[in-house]
Amino acid sequence: MNTPHSLLASVFGFSAFRPGQEEIVDAVLAGRNTLAIMPTGGGKSLCFQLPALCRDGVTVVISPLIALMRDQVRALREVGVEAGALTSGNTDDETEAVFQALDQGRVKLLYMAPERLASPGTLGLLRRIDVRLIAVDEAHCVSQWGHDFRPDYLRIGELRRTLDVPLAAFTATADEETRAEIVTRLFDGQAPATFLRGFDRPNIHLAFAVKDTPRAQILAFAGARKGQSGIVYCGTRAKTETLAQALREAGHAACFYHGGMEAEERRRVEVRFQQEDGLIVVATIAFGMGIDKPDIRWVAHADLPKSIEGYYQEIGRAGRDGAPAETLTLYGPDDIRLRRSQIDEGAAPADRKEADHGRLNALLGLAEATACRRQVLLGYFGETSPPCGNCDLCDRPVDVFDATEAVRKALSAILRTGEWFGAGHLIDILTGTATPKVKERGHDQLPTFAVGRDLSKPAWGAVFRQMMGRDLVRPDAERYGALRMTDAARPILRGEQSISLRRDTIQSAGARPAVKSLVSDEDAPLLSALKAKRRALAEAVAVPAYVIFTDRTLIEMAERRPRGLDDMAHITGVGAKKLESYGAAFLAVIHGEAEALHPQRRRLAGRDAGAVFDRLAEVQVQLMRGLDGTGKPLSLPQGSLRKIAEARPSTLSDLDRVGDLGPQKIERFGEAFLAVLRDA
């Protein structure tokens, strides 16, 4: 009889389980619903592959990326296990071979992407081939709180109920909130057998650096490791291509990988990376999830990742063989601004946006750490450890200073302005910069005005960044990025607790080149919200976003913040038709609610006739019952008021003709209306 121990040795060639594997295998083999959180490189795949070989029937493996599935199928076939994958990257011959093997009952593990569950024929296929177990790899993708949400993962729970088979879910990163959602969505809230293994990867050296000359920094890092396999992660597709070219020009074997490439091109890169020694792949996060290449010696981030979970996943692709590996993550104000805007422009509800800002704060806390990075990283996942001796801060301790007074000044400025403003405006107050916005709101009269002149604006920016990294303040998505104080900051504000910050990032802030952005930091969150509204409106009518409004128009809205439709009409790119169609919707984004105007008045928005209409309407209300207030109520249709405001007649007869008033209304309103028109 095949046992996990015998198959571990005879099929996979291992003499013993890694720590934590055996009890997970036992739980899955016993048919228990299982959730296992194990570090990257900890041997997750064996925990469902071994039970699949010990059980009758087929184990279907839901996996998020074609590259991951191809890797595991290839590896299984190499050790004599019949496995197949049904993916969009298959050739017709490959798909036919998989179906033939399924019909002949030879397949033990069938891999497919969650998107395939939407196909009407999938359920019938899975019933026909006698599926006995569902394994879900990268299960954090099921969670809206995780860093890689995939909506099609939501079908898996229904599939488990329909097939009535046990389910085993695996992931390398899942904080408490993400784990709770996995249990809800995959297991209907019924607690599975849960195994939480340590997150530490002690062989990986951790390092961060503030961006100075980013391309040169990456080239220098790669140059010191020439001939070693590595991955460089970038925030944009275009950057992967330009940086790969720069690496090739520097003498490295390098190629790029991103989601905009044709499937065959991506496949060629995956095969090259598996087969070639010393190849560098410059990629977006589309590359590498589950890539089982054991000898990746380094991972660099040319841009700040999206979250601490994403960072952990991506660096975890290095050193899976247990040998030493290195990492470098570059970050700067432009990265933080980009990541904040991506959160704010998303369609997520406000509570999720707040949680995502908290996750970004945690990553900033790791980037701006004052002592051992591994302690900070593991602390995020609920683990403790002594200083690791294998990170840049253990190698070279940083210079810190008592920043309690500076932080208290910043918190005071936040509270005295009602937690309604972002860092840019707060820094203007602290440095005594009397901008029109500061003076308009009377903030130049606050006690905190100019109390922070001892630090430059860039240095104050570094202070606020480190405050976010400690989660003392968070951007409030509902207030367009206004900083809100957290409970963690209260003891510091009250003088009950001190705080130390890094002096080096504050001192280097002044020397860092300014990043040209579309709008000021103060207006960026509102611009993100306006873009989100534009995207929603564009999707509703299936047109490109720029057809609604161009970026230039939204930027002007964010900077000028029109107070009503009259103001909105003066924004570049807002014509009469678009004002009527979209004006109220965008005003609602800017001010929380739209100005309620009669449709006839709305047609005059932004024109001088609008003010004339308003005055005529006021006079009409005053004279509705005559001068003495006892007459029969009389009024004109709003359309008549609009016509009068536009035509501006100068005599009673012209007024009667334009507005169709009649004798009674001419007597009641005529002279008063003409007086308004003369004044206009």
Domains recognised in the chain with CATH numbers: 4-196 (3.40.50.300), 201-331 (3.40.50.300), 333-367+399-513 (1.10.10.10), 524-596 (1.10.150.80), 610-679 (1.10.150)
Residues 169-184 have pLDDT tens digits of 998 776 777 888 889 8
Pairing mode, if any, of strands 204-205 and 482-485? unpaired
Tokens 């367009």 correspond to: 480
For helices 263-275 and 66-78, what crossing angle results, to 10°? 50
Give the residue among 152, 148, 132, 130 at the shortest CA–CA distance from 140: 148
Query: Is 302 within 8 Å of 232 (Cβ atoms)?
Result: yes
Q: Give residue 492's pLDDT.
A: 94
Mean pLDDT throughout 313-319? 87
Tell whether the model's pLDDT for residue 41 goes beyond 70: no
**508 confidence band (pLDDT: 50, 70, 90):** low
> What is the percent of the chain where pLDDT is above 70?
92
Q: Give residue 222's pLDDT.
A: 95
Q: Give residue 201's pLDDT.
A: 86
Does the CA dihedral 284-45-133-192 come out positive or negative?
Answer: negative
Distance between CA 395 and CA 427 in Å, rounded? 34
Distance between CA 593 and CA 587 in Å, rounded? 7
Alpha-carbon distance values, 575 to 522, 548, 566, 572, 590 (Å): 27, 11, 12, 8, 18
How many alpha carbons fall within 13 Å on the CB side of residue 542? 0
- 259 vs 453 pLDDT, higher one: 453
**51 confidence band (pLDDT: 50, 70, 90):** very high
Mean pLDDT throughout 573-579? 81
Tokens 């995959």 correspond to: 186
Residues 599-656 have pLDDT tens digits of 677 677 767 777 788 888 888 878 887 787 777 888 888 888 888 888 888 888 888 8
**390 confidence band (pLDDT: 50, 70, 90):** very high
- 335 vs 59 pLDDT, higher one: 59
**26 confidence band (pLDDT: 50, 70, 90):** very high
Mean pLDDT throughout 505-534? 64
Alpha-carbon distance values, 233 to 243, 251, 288, 330 (Å): 10, 19, 10, 10
| H-helix or E-strand spanning residue 400 | strand 400-402
Q: Give residue 519's pLDDT.
A: 67
Q: Give residue 252's pLDDT.
A: 95
Report how far apart the first and last C-alpha atoms of the chain are (Å, whole number): 99
Pairing mode, if any, of strands 83-86 and 58-62? unpaired
Residues 133-169 have pLDDT tens digits of 999 988 888 876 555 556 777 888 888 998 999 999 9
Q: Give residue 178's pLDDT.
A: 80
Tokens 């991103």 correspond to: 258
Residues 256-309 have pLDDT tens digits of 998 888 878 888 888 788 777 789 999 987 665 445 677 788 999 999 998 888
Query: Is 183 within 8 Å of 35 (Cβ atoms)?
Result: yes
- Report the predicted TM-score, pTM, of the whole model to 2 decimal places: 0.61
Helix runs in 551-635, H state only? 551-560, 565-568, 576-591, 599-602, 608-622
Give the residue among 197, 217, 168, 502 at the shortest CA–CA distance from 367: 502
Tell whether the model's pLDDT for residue 596 goes beyond 60: no
Q: Give residue 145's pLDDT.
A: 53
Beta bridge partners of 84: 110
Mean pLDDT throughout 349-364? 84
